[in-house]
A = this chain, B = another copy of it.
Amino acid sequence: MTTATKTKMTLVQAVNDSLKCAMRADDSVLVLGEDVGPKGGVFLATDGLTAEFGEERCFDTPLSEDGIIGVGIGMAMNGMKPVCEIQFQDFIFPAFDQIVSEAAKMRYRSGGQYTVPMVIRTPYGGGIRGGLYHSQSGEAYFCHTPGLKVVVPSNPYDAKGLLAAAIADPDPVLFLEPKALYRSSKMEVPDEEYIIPLSKVATVIDGDELVVFCYGAMVPVCTKAAERVKESRGASIRVVDLRTLMPLDEEAVLDAIRECGRVVTVHEAPRFCGFGAEISALAAEHAIEYLEAPVKRVTGFDTPFPNTLEHYYMPDTRRVVDAIEEALDF
């Protein structure tokens, strides 16, 4: 990869690029969903795919998430590699049964005779004035469903490599794209295909006084928070981007907890039974003797997602800074 050419691109462009690489390399990779064809997707994640690969390989579907996932499962069982787009993660719920009952359980219930190597891509999260139904973060639902993998990239480079890994994976993968980061910045991304293995965290900033666990759109927020605390009081804050939520790299998470002794988890989803609770539970079950402060969660509130006040609902840098400082000062 050292001699490879690179291009500056946004996260959504990296998704698009990853899809193109996969479709060029493997004829069985298909893209389907609402408006993914000539329009190129409402966020342009599938821009140009129909033009390059034809309607056979990138196609619009009727307005039925149940159908998109339902036929995706069938295609995956019969030799294809479907990448299904759900236009907003908020609209995945009509397909919940197909995902939870069929995709997640097919290998298990058939004793491995049938499998569903499928990817479900969908933009999630707040920050675009989408209100209750264009802002949700449903990762906890899917992480609690055995048989599914859940991946959340936080930057263009990871997006391309993790999506490649998801497409190569033999099991169903939910690929949650932080829509707030779709175009927020650009990054150099290799032109050729590469894979970032699933179930490996990335340490964004190293540190040993406190660890912040985050993913997706909260990664830049937490990174900034760690930098601010470093500046303001010289504290050494580690920021870990979980990247794959299920199967979680539990060993890396626990190592970080044991090394730092103080923990803050940050996500946009509501707190109660959210993903952060699992991190806290792992800490309380396997690393309690290392804990030097309350294990904190900085999250969305336990309400539906508002609109006008969304930036008061979502964790921001200042809220993360406050939580870090409280834990440090405990």
- Interface residues in A103-143 by Cβ distance below 8 A to B read 104-105, 108-109, 132-133, 140-141, 143
Q: How far is the CB of A150 from chain B (nearest CB, A)?
A: 10
Task: Determine whether the beta carbon of B143 is less than 8 Å from that of A141.
Answer: no
Task: Determine whether the beta carbon of B294 is less than 8 Å from that of A285.
Answer: yes
**Interface check A205, CB cutoff 8 A:** no
**Interface check A255, CB cutoff 8 A:** no
For the complex, give the distance between the alpha carbons of A104 and B294 in Å: 31
For the complex, give the distance between the alpha carbons of A225 and B77 in Å: 45
Cross-chain contact of A140 among B132, B140, B297 (Cβ < 8 A): B140
| Chain A interface size range | 35 or more
Task: Determine whether the beta carbon of A303 is less than 8 Å from that of B93.
Answer: no
**Interface check A318, CB cutoff 8 A:** no
Cross-chain contact of A146 among B141, B294, B303 (Cβ < 8 A): B303
Considering only CB atoms, which chain B residue lies closest to A99 in the complex? B93
Task: Determine whether the beta carbon of A93 is less than 8 Å from that of B96.
Answer: yes
**Interface check A274, CB cutoff 8 A:** yes
Considering only CB atoms, which chain B residue lies closest to A287 in the complex? B294
For the complex, give the distance between the alpha carbons of A296 and B141 in Å: 22
Beta-carbon contacts of A70-110 to B below 8 Å, as 1s and 0s? 00000000000000000000100110110011001100110
Which of A1-9, A36-44, A233-241, A275-283 contacts its partner?
A275-283
Cross-chain contact of A143 among B272, B280, B304 (Cβ < 8 A): B272
Cross-chain contact of A291 among B100, B272, B284 (Cβ < 8 A): B284
B-binding residues in A (CB < 8 A): 90, 93-94, 96-97, 100-101, 104-105, 108-109, 132-133, 140-141, 143-144, 146-147, 246, 248, 269-270, 272-278, 280-281, 283-286, 288, 291, 293-297, 301-304
Q: With contacts A272-B278, A284-B294 known, what are 13 further pairs, Cβ within 8 A?
A: A93-B96, A96-B97, A101-B133, A108-B303, A143-B272, A143-B273, A144-B272, A144-B273, A146-B272, A273-B273, A273-B275, A273-B278, A281-B281
